Amino acid sequence: MPVPLPRPPALLKGLVAFVLAAAFAAQAVAALLPHVPLLLAATAVSLATEGALYRWQRGVLSLFAKSHADITVRHVLRDLLLVVALLRLGEQDRETVYAPLVAGLLAFYVLHCAIQAVSVLVRRTRTLPVVTRNIDASVLRLSPAPSVLLRRPGHRLLVFGLPATAGLLASVPGDRPVYAAAGVALSLALALTGLGALLLRLLPGRRPAGEQEVLEWFDGWLAAYRPTVGLYFSGGASSAYQANMWLEPLAKLDGRPVIVLRERFMVQKIAATDIPIVCLPKVSTLMRLEHSTLQVLIHPSNSGKTSQVLRIPTIKHTFVNHGESDKLSSCNPYAKAYDEVWVAGPAARERYALAEVGVEDKDVVETGRPQLDGVTPYAGPPTGTWTTVLYAPTWEGWDGNPGNTSVVEAGENLVRALLADPGVRLLYKPHPLTGSVDPRAGAADLRIRELIRAANRERGEARPPAGADLAACAAELDRLTTSVFRAGADTVERMLVQSAPEPGRAEAVARATAAWEEAYWASLPEGEHQVVTDARPALYSCFNVSDLLISDVSSVISDFLASGKPYAVANTSGLPEDAFRAAFPTVAAATVLTPDAAGVPELLEAVRHPEKDGLAEARAELKLRLLGPAEPSSQERFGEAVRALCAKARDHRARVAERLAAELPGQRTEAAVPAAPR
C-alpha cells in the first residue's frame, strides 16, 4: 500500500478558489467595460483553473457546490458574460444578430439538463438488486456502462460546452458571430448525440433485466447451485482484509461455499477467489436466503448489518473473528447472538468464560486457525549475516487506550535500537488503519519510515532494478488476480467481466503467489531494511522470513506463535511488567520491552544464541493454549466444525417441518426450505 499523500493545505485550496473567483470578477469587469484583452485573459484563466480543479483539486469543487456555485452555474455565468461582452462591443442593432446564439445556448443547457435526467434513469436501470462475481449472469442482459461523460454532469458540461464557450470567445476580438454560431452548433450536436445514446439504453432490449427478473434469476441460481456454507461480511473499505483471511479456509471446505456481502463496493475488495460472491444490499433480498439450502454462515466480524441476517431462522450462524488477542474486542458481548463461537484454542475459551459476556461454554468450539497451516515452523537461530526482525505494531483503536499501539510512545525508540545493530535487517509492517483515529500515530508512522530510509542510505544499500523473475511472477499473479476494467465501469459491467472463473484458477493463484513471494524476497538487496505496506507480501510471508517479531497486544502475536519463533511485546500500558503479563496472557512467553527499548540488545542476543533463550518452552506451551494441538490440522478441525453445525441446521429444519405437519393435520405441509444437501 503506497504511503498516503498529505491532503493539500487549506491555504492552497483557498488560493485556488480565489484565483477562480478573481477570474470571474475580471471577466465581468471586462464584459461591462468592454475590454477585449482582459476578457480573453480572464476567460482563459477561468477555463484552465476549472480543468485543474477537476484533475487535482476535487475538494475545492465541493466547496463551490456548497456555496450553490456548482459547475452548471459557473458555466452559464461564463457564457453569459461572453454574450454581454459581444453585445456591448457591437452596434446597437446587434442584439438581433446574437439573439439566435442566445437561443442556441439556452437549448444547449436544456439538453444538458435532459441528459442528466436520462442518465439518472439509465443508472437506475443498471442498479440491480443483486451484484455477483464468479457467477455467469449473462442472461440478465448485462452490458458495458455508458461513457463517463454521459454520467458525470461536471465532466460532460466542460467537454460538451467547451465548443460554445470557445466560439463565443473567438468572436470577441473581431466581432464575428460566425465563430460563436459554429461553436454553439457543435455543442448542440454533441449534446443531442449524447442524449440519443442514453435514450437508446432505455429501450427494453438494451437495458439490463428488471428487479423482479433479477430476483427470479437469483432464486434459480440458489436452487441450482445449492450452497451449504457461506461467509457473511459487511464493513468499510479498509476492513476487507478481515474477510480475505478466511477465503482459503472456506475454499478448502467440502460442500458448496458462497460469500455473502452487503455493500456493492465490497465486491471488488474481496481478494482473488473462485468462490461465488453475491452482494445483497437490501434486507428484503437478503431474506431470500431463508428459502435456500444454505445451512451455515460464518462471520469474521460484527457490523450493524449483522443483526439483519441473524433473523433468518433456517441458517446457523457462527462467529470466527478475524483474529484473536487479549483485547476486549476478542470477547465482544455481541458474540452471544450467534449459535456458536469458534475460537483457536483453550485460551480463547477461558477468555470468554472470564469475560462473562453471555457466551456459554457449550457454544464455544475450538477449531484452531486454519490460515496458519502455511506458517513455517522454527528452524533454529539465524545462520546468515542478518537477523531479520519484523516490527508489526497494531493501530491505536477507538477507545484511546495508550497501550493499544506502541507506535506513538515506543515505535521510534524501538526502530532506532534495532537499526543501531549492524546485523539487523528490519521489516516494518504497520497496521493499515494506523493514524486513522489518532493523528499522533500517523505522524509517528511517517517518522519511523524516514528513519528506515535514512538507515538504508547510511548502509549504502542501493536497490537494483527488479529482476526478470520477479517481474514475470508479478505479471502472472496480476493476470490471475486482477480484473482489468474499462475506465468508468459500473457494477453491471464488472459483473459481465467477472463471470464464472476459469477451471483451476485457485490452484494457479496459489502457485503464482508462492513463486512471487520467493522471487520477491530473493530480489531484495542483502541487508536492506523494508517498509512493507502493499498487499503483497502478506503478513504470514513476513513471518516466514523473520527470526523475531516485535508487536503489541494483538492477534499478530497469537498468529506468530504458530512458528514457535521468539517474539517481544512493547508495554506502553503504564502497567508494571508483572501486572502487564497477568493482564494479557498472550504475553506470557514474550520478552516485554519498555517504551525506551532498553531491552533490545539482550533480546537480539537471545535470538542469535538459543542457549540464552529462556522462553522457548513457554512459547511451546502458550502455542498449545492459544492455537490448540497441531494434529489434526486446523483446516481439518475447521471442516469438522462446519459439518457439525450443518448437521444441527438440518436437524432444526426437520423438527420445524414435523411441527408444522402436526399443527396443520390434513393439509399439505412442507419444510419452509428445500431439503438441505448433506
User: Could you state, in order of their start, the residue ranges of all structural domains in the chain?
Assistant: 10-125+150-199, 226-368+639-678, 385-463+526-627, 465-523
b/e burial code for range 472-501 (CB count within 10 A of at least 16 → b): ebbebbeebbeeeeeebbbbbbbbbebeeb
Q: In what helix (H) or strand (E) does residue 217 lie, and over which residues does it extend? A: helix 211-225
468 pLDDT higher than 80:
no
Q: Is the peptide bond before 257 cis (omega within 30 degrees of 0)?
A: no
Q: pLDDT grade, residue 129 (50/70/90)?
A: very high
287-317, pLDDT tens digit by residue?
Answer: 999 999 999 999 999 988 999 999 999 999 9
* Cα-to-chain-centroid distance, residue 258: 19
581-603, pLDDT tens digit by residue?
Answer: 988 888 999 999 999 999 999 99
Of the listed ranges 107-111, 175-179, 500-504, the least confidently predicted one is 500-504
Which three cell numbers, joined as nine digits, stand for 259?
460469500
Q: pLDDT grade, residue 342 (50/70/90)?
A: very high
- DSSP, collapsed to helix, strand or coil, labels residue 420 as coil
Q: Average pLDDT, stretch 486-510? A: 84
Q: Tell me, what's the pLDDT at 329?
A: 62
In this prediction the pTM is 0.82
Q: Tell me, what's the pLDDT at 441?
A: 93
Q: Tell me, what's the pLDDT at 552?
A: 93
385-463+526-627 has the same fold as 226-368+639-678:
yes
Q: Tell me, what's the pLDDT at 4?
A: 41
469 pLDDT higher than 90:
no
Please, what is the end-to-end C-alpha distance for the chain in angstroms?
42
The fold for domain 385-463+526-627 equals Rossmann fold (3.40.50)
Q: How far apart are CA 626 and CA 586, in angstroms?
A: 8
Q: How far apart are CA 161 and CA 170, in angstroms?
A: 14
Q: pLDDT grade, residue 3 (50/70/90)?
A: very low
Percent of the chain with pLDDT over 90: 56
Q: What is the CATH number of domain 226-368+639-678?
A: 3.40.50
Neighbours of 405 (CB within 10 A): 32
250-274, pLDDT tens digit by residue?
Answer: 999 988 999 999 999 999 999 888 9
Of the listed ranges 178-192, 358-372, 466-480, 662-676, the least confidently predicted one is 662-676
Q: What angle do CA 576, 581, 587 make, to 5 degrees?
A: 130
523-576, pLDDT tens digit by residue?
Answer: 998 889 999 998 889 899 999 999 999 999 988 998 999 999 999 999 999 899
Of the listed ranges 31-45, 94-108, 359-373, 459-473, the least confidently predicted one is 459-473
